[in-house]
Amino acid sequence: MQVKEKIIEKIFLLIALSSIFILGLITFFIFEEGLPLILKIGPKAFLLGERWIPSKGLFGIFPMIVSSFWVTFGALLLGIPLGLACTIFLSELIPPSIGILLRPAIQLLAAIPSVIYGFWGLIVLVPLIQNYLGGPGLSIFAGSLVLGFMILPTIITISEDSLKALPPSYKAGALALGATHWQTIWRVLIPAAKSGIVTSIILGMGRAIGETMAMIMILGNAVKMPSSFLDSARTLTTNIGIEMGYASGDHRQALFATGIVLFFIIMALNILAIFLSRRRVD
User: What are the residues binding another protein (CB under 8 A)?
Assistant: 51, 53-56, 122, 126-127, 130, 136-138, 216-217, 220-224, 232, 234, 241-243, 245-248, 251
Nearer to another protein, 46 or 79 (CB): 46
Nearer to another protein, 7 or 177 (CB): 7
Count of residues in the chain: 282
Question: Chain-centre distance of CA 131, in angstroms?
Answer: 29
CB atoms within 10 A of CB 155: 27
Nearer to another protein, 54 or 259 (CB): 54
Nearer to another protein, 224 or 280 (CB): 224
**Residues 237, 266: Cα–Cα separation, whole Å:** 12
Closest approach of another protein to the CB of residue 242, in Å: 5
User: Distances from the Cα of 150 to the Cαs of 70, 230, 257, in angstroms?
Assistant: 16, 20, 27
Nearer to another protein, 18 or 270 (CB): 18
Closest approach of another protein to the CB of residue 20, in Å: 24
Nearer to another protein, 160 or 243 (CB): 243
Identify any residues that bridge with 58 across adjacent strands, giving them in sequence order: 53
Residues 6+ apart with CB under 8 A from 78: 144, 145, 148, 149
Cα atoms found within 13 Å of the Cα of residue 255, Cβ hemisphere only: 16
CB atoms within 10 A of CB 116: 11
The amino acid at residue 240 is I
Closest approach of another protein to the CB of residue 63, in Å: 9
- Sign of the alpha-carbon torsion through 273, 142, 157, 160: positive
Closest approach of another protein to the CB of residue 139, in Å: 10
Cα first-last separation, the chain: 39
Nearer to another protein, 53 or 274 (CB): 53
**Residues 9, 79: Cα–Cα separation, whole Å:** 43
Closest approach of another protein to the CB of residue 57, in Å: 12
Ramachandran quadrant class, 135 (left: phi over 0; alpha: psi -120 to 50; beta: rest): left
Closest approach of another protein to the CB of residue 159, in Å: 34
Closest approach of another protein to the CB of residue 116, in Å: 16
